[in-house]
Structure 1
């Protein structure tokens, strides 16, 4: 897996810890991430900086825990923009997050296929 998108060491650690439940973790992350993206978009549409900050913070933690380093970094940038109430930066950041998550989704689905 490309290092720029996923941290192989984090995934290896998760595999060791989760054992047979690792595929379930991957599935859960993908499902939860779709919901987190919906929260980001909804907060942007309502121009709710606080909701956007909280949603970005939550998504950042989830991505970080799963080794999605670039996605976590983009969420951190969005969280900081929302904290500063710089909402002009938000649409471009959410677009970047959506693009990066599309890549991560493909990589995690490929990872998931290894356990069928």
Structure 2
């Protein structure tokens, strides 16, 4: 697993495409991600629900360049179908990784607010 938290090329590309809406995109991602983290915590004992949440979280994380977060979500999605998987540990890792990238996105958003 890579130790890259954010892919600057993805952020740069998004900034170029989104222009003035870029800070709003980051804000939306942060709000949505916080809700997904809470949903993962709530669904800890429901492997099927964890898999679904992880699938959508993987997509949004990948689209916004949160490389490691997307990888962890992909692992959770895949392992949610395995009866012996330690899903709780993966949820904890996802929670921790979001705690790492959240201030990075907040800082990025601050740079572009008018």
TM-score by length of 2: 0.92
SS of residue matched to 1:83: coil
**Would you say how many aligned residue pairs link Structure 1 and Structure 2?**
111
Runs of 4+ in structure 1 over 6 Å off: none
> 2:102 aligned with 1:105, yes or no?
yes
Q: Identify the residue that residue 69 of structure 1 maps to in structure 2.
A: 67
The RMSD of aligned alpha carbons is 1.2
SS of residue matched to 1:5: coil
Q: Identify the residue that residue 40 of structure 2 maps to in structure 1.
A: 40
Deviation at 1:39, TM superposition (A): 1.3
Distance in 1 separating the partners of 2:99 and 2:14: 21
TM-score by length of 1: 0.90
Q: Identify the residue that residue 11 of structure 2 maps to in structure 1.
A: 11
Distance in 2 separating the partners of 1:48 and 1:91: 10
* Structure 2 gap segments, 5+ residues each: none
CA offsets per residue over residues 71-106 of structure 1, 9 Å max, x none?
0000011111112234x5111111111111011101
SS of residue matched to 2:83: coil
SS of residue matched to 1:6: coil
Deviation at 1:23, TM superposition (A): 0.1
Distance in 1 separating the partners of 2:109 and 2:100: 14
* Structure 1 gap segments, 5+ residues each: none
